[in-house]
C-alpha cells in the first residue's frame, strides 16, 4: 500500500489545478484516489487547498538623474567611519589598526565596503563593517569608506583626517 499510495499522491500533485480529485475505497479495502470516479463505487470529491503563488515583481525603476537644483538621493541615511581619533594621534606601533563603519540601514545585497586611504582604494572590498589597515606609515592621512556595487560607487562617507604615531626604530 505504501508505494501505491505514494505513486497516487505524486500523480495527484502533477494534475492540473482545475482537475477534480476523487477518493474511494477499492475492492481490497484500500483508500484510493483518481481524477475520475470509478463506475459502481461510491467516490467522494476531495477539496484541495489553493496552490501557493508568487507574483512576479515589477523591475524597479532606474534612478532618476538629479538636476542641478536637486541633491542626489543617498542609498544610506548614515555612512561614516568611527573608532578613529580626530584630535590626537592614533598610536599604532606597527601601523596596524581597525576602523568601524556606521551604516543605516544595513548594507544591502551586492554592496560592499571599500576603504579610501589618502584618496586611493585600500585593501579588498568587504561586507564586514570592521575594516583593518596594516603597516600604515606614520604621519597625516585621510580615510573614507565607499559603498560599491561592482565597479560603481553607490555612496561615499565624509573623509576623516588623522595622524598615525609609530615607534621609530633606528
pLDDT of residue 60: 60
153 bridge partner residues: 148
User: Taking a C-beta distance cutoff of 8 angstroms, is the pair 131, 113 a contact?
Assistant: yes
Average pLDDT value for the chain? 80
Per-residue confidence at 64, pLDDT binned at 50, 70, 90? low
pLDDT of 28-54, one tens digit each? 888 888 888 888 888 888 887 776 676
With 80 as the cut, is the pLDDT of residue 82 above it? Answer: yes
pLDDT of residue 70: 45
144 bridge partner residues: 116
In Å, how far are 8, 24, 45, 118, 154 from 150, measured between CA atoms? 50, 60, 56, 21, 10
With 90 as the cut, is the pLDDT of residue 101 above it? Answer: yes
For Cα atoms 117, 123, 124, give the angle at the middle one, nearest 5 degrees.
135
For Cα atoms 75, 79, 80, give the angle at the middle one, nearest 5 degrees.
165
Reported pTM: 0.54
Residue 135 CB partners (closer than 8 Å, separation 6+): 94, 95, 96
Percent of the chain residues past pLDDT 90, beyond the cut = 28
pLDDT of 114-159, one tens digit each? 999 999 999 999 999 998 888 888 889 999 999 999 999 999 999 9
State the Cα–Cα distance between residues 27 and 84, nearest whole angstrom.
82
| Superfamily name and number for 78-165 | Immunoglobulins (2.60.40.10)
Domain map (residue ranges) of the chain:
2-46, 78-165
With 90 as the cut, is the pLDDT of residue 14 above it? Answer: no
Amino acid at each position: 500500500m505504501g508505494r501505491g499510495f505514494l505513486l497516487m499522491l505524486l500523480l495527484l500533485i502533477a494534475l492540473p489545478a482545475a482537475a477534480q480529485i476523487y477518493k474511494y475505497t477499492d475492492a481490497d479495502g484500500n483508500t484510493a484516489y483518481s481524477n475520475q470516479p470509478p463506475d459502481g463505487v461510491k467516490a467522494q470529491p476531495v477539496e484541495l487547498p489553493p496552490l501557493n503563488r508568487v507574483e512576479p515583481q515589477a523591475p524597479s525603476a532606474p534612478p532618476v538623474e538629479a538636476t542641478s537644483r536637486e541633491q542626489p538621493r543617498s542609498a544610506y541615511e548614515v555612512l561614516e567611519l568611527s573608532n578613529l581619533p580626530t584630535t590626537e594621534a592614533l598610536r599604532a606601533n606597527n601601523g596596524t589598526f581597525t576602523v568601524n563603519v556606521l551604516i543605516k540601514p544595513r548594507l544591502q545585497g551586492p554592496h560592499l565596503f571599500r576603504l579610501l586611504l589618502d584618496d586611493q582604494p585600500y585593501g579588498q572590498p568587504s561586507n564586514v563593517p570592521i575594516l583593518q589597515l596594516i603597516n600604515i606609515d606614520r604621519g597625516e592621512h585621510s580615510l573614507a569608506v565607499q559603498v560599491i556595487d561592482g565597479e560603481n560607487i553607490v555612496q561615499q562617507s565624509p573623509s576623516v583626517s588623522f595622524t598615525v604615531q609609530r615607534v621609530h626604530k633606528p
